[in-house]
Amino acid sequence: MTAITKLFGTDLPIIQAPMAGSQLSAMAIAVSNAGGLGSLPCAMLAPEGIGKELAAIQAGTKKPYNVNFFCHVPPAPDTVREAAWRAKLSPYYEEFGIDADKIPTGPGRMPFSKEAADVLEAFKPAVVSFHFGLPEKALLARVRSWGSKIVSSATTVEEARWLEAQGVDAIIAQGNEAGGHRGVFLGEDISTQPGTFALLPQVVKAVKVPVIAAGGIADAKGVAAAMALGASAAQAGTAYLLCPESTASAVHRAALKGPKAAETALTNLFTGRPARGIVNRFMREMGPMNPAAPAFPLGTAAVAPLRAAAEKNGSGDFSPLWSGQNATGCREVPAAQVTKDLSS
């Protein structure tokens, strides 16, 4: 028993990190049924999709689960910036025979909204977690009103203190090792983002709410180390990506199993916000952090056709190959097994 297992009502202090684009309800169900906290990422789902996946979870498990939302403020479309970015990518469009003028724009990622809350209310999940801070107060109050525990990620001690002041029930200390999007929401400087070994104990010292460790945790030793540093639970994402319940693409799986899986970097090329993925051709050639990339989440549009074309050829050169810095926990075993092994 830890403060987190008590708070969430789980058997194990293991949280499966929500991974938008790489998993849906099947993963959440498997992890929750195994005694961990399974998570449904909603950033790439419209309200109907959220409802469908939540219904599947409700049918698939009686255990607590987590529903995760991004809570960015969508930027105004910027046609000048978008055009300049597409001009930079034009050699790639030519290489793949893509008509740059026909690439649709799109939101890429959805923030938490009134519509999402309407869907969520019918399910009243045990835990609702947010990324990029917290939604506006009225929306957050709705979530709180039906009893869901509220969690968000901190990438600095300052963000942890801010979240605690807003009344969150627990804080994820997201070390720089973590795969996917950095939860950073106060400031934009990624050069000062601390690793788990530095961030976790400082967050534990700084706040009174229980702290969940994330970033670089791949096995039971990693969980034990996180606990030694004061965590009440550990969150793992990358370790679940090769499970049969994962929807990760073939090129993503191949990269995770490949010899270069340890070579990851933060990149804003795929969405506009820094997220950690395995270095590929696009990241190498454009620089992983490119100041010309569109504002989040508008970066997805320009790269989407390149990704599709490359993946058709079995190449992950233009795909976001999200991964933390420690992919050694990735195994092609059921998510229940990963969950049990993490807690053993």
The answer to whether 194 contacts a copy of itself (rule: CB under 8 A) is: yes
Q: Is 216 in the site for a copy of itself (CB under 8 A)?
A: yes
What's the rounded Cα separation, in Å, for the pair 275 and 230? 26
Amino acid at 309: A
What gap in Å lies between CA 255 and CA 330, rounded to an integer?
Answer: 11
Query: What is the torsional sign of CA 122, 127, 130, 133?
Result: positive
What ranges make up the beta strands (E) of the chain?
14-16, 38-41, 65-70, 127-131, 149-154, 170-174, 180-181, 211-214, 233-236, 264-267, 275-278
Nearer to a copy of itself, 225 or 301 (CB): 225
Q: Does 277 bind a copy of itself (CB under 8 A)?
A: no
Q: Does residue 290 touch a copy of itself according to CB under 8 A?
A: no
Judged by CB under 8 A, which of 83, 84, 122, 228 binds a copy of itself?
228
Query: What are phi and psi for residue 13, nearest 5 degrees?
Result: -85, 45
Binding to a copy of itself by residue 288, rule CB under 8 A?
A: yes
- Least Å from the CB of residue 22 to a copy of itself: 19
Taking CB under 8 A as the criterion, which residues in 127-186 touch a copy of itself? Answer: 156-157, 175-177
Q: What is the DSSP string of 65-121?
A: EEEEEE---PPPP-HHHHHHHHHHTHHHHHHHT--GGGPPP---SPBP-HHHHHHHH
266 or 342: CB nearest a copy of itself: 266
Shortest distance, position 131 Cβ to a copy of itself, whole Å: 20
| Residue 262 binds a copy of itself (CB under 8 A) | yes
Q: How far is the CB of 192 from a copy of itself (least distance, A)?
A: 5
Whole-angstrom distance, CA of residue 343 vs CA of residue 277: 26
Instruction: Tell me if 210 contacts a copy of itself by CB under 8 A.
Output: no
Q: Which of 40, 57, 134, 266 binds a copy of itself (CB under 8 A)?
A: 266
**Cα dihedral value 68, 154, 249, 247, nearest 10:** -30
Per CB under 8 A, does 202 bind a copy of itself? yes
Residue 333 binds a copy of itself (CB under 8 A): no
Q: Match 């693409």 to its residue by tokens.
A: 249
Interacting residues toward a copy of itself by CB under 8 A:
156-157, 175-177, 189, 191-192, 194-199, 201-202, 205, 215-219, 221-222, 224-226, 228-230, 262-266, 279, 288-289, 324-326, 328
